[in-house]
Amino acid sequence: MNKTVKAIIAAGALAVAALWAAAPVFAAQSLVRAACAGDQTDLRRLVDFPAFRQSLKDELNAHLVAQMRQKTGGDSALSGLGMLLAPTVVSGAVDAFVTPQAISAMVRTGEAPKPSTVLKDEPPEADRSRVKLGYGYRDLNTFAVTLTRADRPGEPVVLLMERRGIVDWKLAGIDLPEA
């Protein structure tokens, strides 16, 4: 094999590797553009709604259990009943709440859904200039899009995109702030 063929093969391999590594950034930017434009068709294409709903349910349930334990000390029978009923309440609310409009509002505002507000159907007012975006890999198949509000720098909302195929990525999870 001559040098020219080796150089072409090396350049091709480098281009494929660059595309593979940059694909989640392009997908995240597409998600943000679609959310800011309110493009429901693109949001439906870019979000794995069943996986995202389950992730949000898990996050909200964990927050509710922590709040109940903190408020009751974890010893009361009422606390136990609340912990049993909380997943059912959260599940129904999240199933109704997680729509393309809700994802759009979350991305535009950087506002995390809270257990107390997930039942409301009105999205918060959007001020895109107050939200900073950050990108980074969690692992080879998980890419994090961090939304940080200027007025709440310690409470970022982290949207988790997962690899679906070689260069296809979908929003499939969320990490809510600890507050």
Share of the chain above pLDDT 70, in %: 79
DSSP 47: B
Q: pLDDT per residue over 152-169, tens digit each?
A: 888 899 999 999 988 899
| Axis-axis angle for helices 100-109, 3-37 (nearest 10) | 100
Give the residue-averaged pLDDT of 8-14: 90
Higher per-residue confidence, 92 vs 121: 92
Share of the chain above pLDDT 90, in %: 36
The C-alpha atoms of residue 111 and residue 91 are separated, in whole angstroms, by 20
The C-alpha atoms of residue 98 and residue 23 are separated, in whole angstroms, by 25
The pTM score is: 0.78
